[in-house]
Copies of this chain bind each other. A is one copy, B any other.
Amino acid sequence: MQDVFITGVGITRFGKFPNETLASLGRAATLDALRDAGIGPQDVDVISCGSARSGILNNHESGVGQLIGWELGIRTIPVYNVKNYCASGSTAFDVAYMAVAGGFQDVALVIGVEKMSVRAEKGRPITSDGVEVETDFGFTPPAVFAASAAEHMADFGTTREQIAMVAVKNRKNAEHNPVAQYRSPVTVEEVIASPSVAGLLNLFDCCPTGDGAAVVVLMSPDAVRRHGAQKRAVRVAASVLASGEYDQIKPLTTFHLDVLSSRKAYEKAGIGPEDVDLAEVHDAFTITEIIHAEDLGFVAKGEGGRAVEAGEFSIGGRLPISPSGGLLTKGHPLGATGTAQLVELTQQLRGESGPRQVEGAKVALAQLSGGFMESDLATSSMIILAR
């Protein structure tokens, strides 16, 4: 097995863009990433493309990778089209990582893309694939995580204000992120006063839906040298996927698969959670950032709310989380989210993040969950990058 490096990243703005397509979004982010890596389409050996809902929403179930490759004149190479719920982009990354680390290919393009703004036309809610209990009985993601929030407050004394502070922090981070979907600041009071979505989770506690694409270029050590990409290359220290949980669904304040995959990732990278300088996590809801921070070992179980309040997860704090603004604020176009996390962390580790730079960052972690923890049809992705 050989080392793998990220040598180029590209991203579109996240938001609702009715005039854009999977192809146009993917093309824009890919061109951005190729330029960043200093290579052309002809240098790409393999495409791995993640999108979660391109079939049901856009009638492009299989060939999204080919579609985007075709736009760029990329031909005859292997293309993998990968689906794994919200972790589709991360799973596409893992496939490309294997292709390069295993010595099968030298230069891989990992494309994450989603176009969700057509959803309204379809007149149906976005629910998790095939999970009828949620669709039929209204046990939707906000409802599930509202139950998590209530349990976290009851078990650990987490306050409503602490939960709201996640949104406040991530909005503040997004103010300096030009690609983020929502960039205006909010206050704790505004979060708590925003319209209720489910239980105590309000509008500003929930991530938006949207369109977008994010792309990373992976290279083998040989390719890094050949393309002179050493200077800004970021090493992939671990990529771990764990799927299909079968355990008890209670308590709702911990996700066993994330505990498992993070420990495996730390072991592979030869580090512990105390070595992580910054992280992007699956903050689809305010409460989930708190739970993930605990499950990943950044703080003890139950201490996440207090850590947010103390500013530990803010830029300038002990371990900044969601410096990009996270899913909550940057946005969550499903298939693009996993690769977008890697765009942010790569720029941070290179010291290219401008006003939202985490100073001196050497080790960064990206975590995404996919599917429904409650249904056993889940997946957890953990990717560690290092400079």
Contacts and interface: CB of A to CB of B under 8 A. Distances in A.
A376 B76 CA distance: 10
A74 interface: yes
A110 interface: no
Contacts of A99: 98
A371 to B, nearest CB: 5
Interface string A209-243: 00000000000000000000000000000001111
Interface in A76-107: 76-85, 88, 91, 94-95, 98-99, 101-104
A257 B84 contact: no
A74 B81 CA distance: 23
Given A82-B80, A102-B103, A246 B75 contact: yes
A378 interface: yes
Nearest to A101: B102
Contact of A244 (B74, B85, B91, B370): B74
A70 B376 contact: yes
Interface of A: 1, 47, 52-53, 55-56, 58-63, 65-67, 69-70, 73-85, 88, 91, 94-95, 98-99, 101-104, 129-130, 240-247, 257, 260, 370-371, 376-379
Nearest to A78: B241
A61 B52 contact: yes
B66 A56 contact: no
B61 A55 contact: yes
A63 B129 contact: yes
A248 to B, nearest CB: 12
21 contacts: A1-B103, A55-B61, A55-B83, A55-B129, A56-B56, A62-B83, A63-B130, A65-B244, A67-B130, A69-B244, A74-B244, A75-B243, A75-B376, A76-B242, A76-B260, A77-B242, A79-B241, A80-B91, A80-B241, A81-B83, A82-B83
Nearest to A21: B130
Contacts of A377: 63, 66-67, 70
Nearest to A92: B80
B98 A65 contact: no
Interface-central residue, A60, A83, A104, by most chain B CB under 10 Å: A83
B102 A98 contact: yes
Contact of A60 (B59, B102, B129): B129
A1 B94 CA distance: 18
Nearest to A76: B242
Nearest to A376: B70
A379 B320 CA distance: 42
B103 A60 contact: no
A284 to B, nearest CB: 15
A52 B81 CA distance: 10
A61 B63 contact: no
Interface-central residue, A47, A129, A371, by most chain B CB under 10 Å: A129
Contact of A77 (B78, B101, B243): B243
A244 B66 contact: yes
A370 B80 CA distance: 12
Given A98-B104, A102-B103, A244 B82 contact: no
B102 A1 contact: yes
Nearest to A88: B62
B1 A66 contact: no
Contacts of A88: 62
A91 B49 CA distance: 13
Contacts of A245: 75-76
